[in-house]
Structure 1
Amino acid sequence: MATRTAGAADRDQVAALLDTAFHDDPVSGWVFPEEERRRAVHGLFMGCFLDAALAGGRVDLLEDGSAAALWLSVPAGEPEEEEDDMPALMRRTADPDNERAELVGRLTGAIHPTERAHAYLLLVAVAPDRQGEGLGTALLTPVLEQCDRDGLPVYLEASSARSRELYLRLGFADRGEPLRLPDGPLMWPMWREPAAG
């Protein structure tokens, strides 16, 4: 399956993919519990992650547009205070009256590892009608192999039990206890040490 790096010209296509792929995700359902509201603002919310990856990371896209992976490179040490912090931006952009649109970012940020530089897999999106075909694995495997060659660990938060199972198969392990969103679902912080060559 051919993969390419997405750019600004692909933003609308990838944002639509993220919106549909995560519409029924447990965490998206927690952030936006009312279906009508989720339909209205979920794409704006997911677009914040995409914009961060386009600006400071990388977006891998299958040529047919059926799957995308959003990556950031995270240095060791506590993150510097940003002028416009991501959780506040997510809330302001998507749903200013919804504190959960910010809280999910605050809670995941609080458990993000800081002791070692690593690749951060923000999101992997697969079109709903193509899920279960191995597209996510096909998209991630070359990057994970490169991380192995570079001696670089990888971190992510799995937002569903199904995605956690995929990541376990790809060499990730649970990193500490799952994060339970208040009155909501679990998120699993996961870490992958580079494989010895």
Structure 2
Amino acid sequence: MTTKITRLSEAGAATDIIAEAFGNDAISTWLIPSARDRMPIQRRFFGMYVAHALYHGDVYGIHESGELAGAAIWFTAPFPGIPGEEQAIASFAGENAGRYGVLGQMLVRLHPQVPHHYLNFIALRRGRTGRGLGSLLLEEHHRRLDALKMPAYLEASSEASRRLYLRHGYVDVAEPVRLPDGPVMYPMWRAPAGV
């Protein structure tokens, strides 16, 4: 099968992939306990960030045999906040908005204050995992970072994703962080190759 990585110029397809991949993970389940409400709310949330990255970051898509199979969303930190983000989340998340606030505050506290690129989301369509596509997406941006001598930062949302990032040169930069009565996140850092 042939693979190709491109920069995406619209948010819809990448949002669909990210929502499908993360819509029912441990963090989404913590944010929105109601399974009925979870996917519509998370689709709005992820879509907001993908759209913001089209102007203030990089949105990559990996195509396999002509079909979009995955997406990665990167920001150059520091990046501007999303105008009206809190109000937007309150409008679509309703009673769950407070949890988004807790998560957002935690991520701001963890975020390094030195220049870096931030991997906000990386996701593959169901049935496309375990074939190296996520690694190809990471390597595409890592080559750019290495050329710029720029580090990268992310928060792994599971032990499985943490293992993937460890294989790609990331290291733990803090103790794992647990959301209140919720799942664990792993802050990770990658120094550029050769530095």
Q: 1:156 maps to which residue?
A: 154
Q: 1:7 maps to which residue?
A: 9
TM-score by length of structure 1 reads: 0.89
Letter matched to residue 8 of structure 2? A
Shift in alpha-carbon separation, 1:90–1:158, aligned structure 2, 3 A: farther
Post-superposition shift, 1:51?
Answer: 1.8
Q: 1:66 maps to which residue?
A: 69
Q: 2:31 maps to which residue?
A: 31
Letter matched to residue 45 of structure 1? F
Aligned mates of 2:53, 2:92 — CA distance in 1: 17
1:90/1:102 contact within 8 Å kept: no
Aligned mates of 2:82, 2:170 — CA distance in 1: 33
Aligned mates of 1:183, 1:85 — CA distance in 2: 28
Post-superposition shift, 1:49?
Answer: 1.7
Post-superposition shift, 1:85?
Answer: 5.9
Aligned mates of 2:110, 2:83 — CA distance in 1: 20
Shift in alpha-carbon separation, 1:51–1:103, aligned structure 2, 3 A: farther
Letter matched to residue 3 of structure 1? I
Aligned mates of 1:25, 1:96 — CA distance in 2: 20
1:44/1:93 contact within 8 Å kept: no
TM-score by length of structure 2 reads: 0.89
Post-superposition shift, 1:150?
Answer: 1.3
Aligned mates of 1:40, 1:67 — CA distance in 2: 20
2:156/2:185 contact within 8 Å kept: yes
Say which is worse superposed, 35-44 or 185-194, in terms of deviation. 35-44
Q: SS of 1:130's equivalent? A: coil
Q: Provide the alpha-carbon RMSD of the alignment.
A: 1.9
Shift in alpha-carbon separation, 1:25–1:19, aligned structure 2, 3 A: same
Q: SS of 2:68's equivalent? A: coil
Which residues in structure 2 correspond to 1:32-47 (within 5 Å)?
32-47=32-47
Q: Once the two structures are superposed, what CA deviation does each residue of 1:98-140 show, in whole Å capped at 9, x if it has no partner?
A: 11122211211111000x2101110001112111111110111
Aligned mates of 1:121, 1:192 — CA distance in 2: 11
4+ aligned runs moved over 4 Å, structure 1: none
Kindly tell me the number of residue pairs found equivalent between the two proteins: 189
Unaligned runs of 5+ in 1: none
Aligned mates of 1:163, 1:90 — CA distance in 2: 29
Q: SS of 1:119's equivalent? A: strand
Unaligned runs of 5+ in 2: none
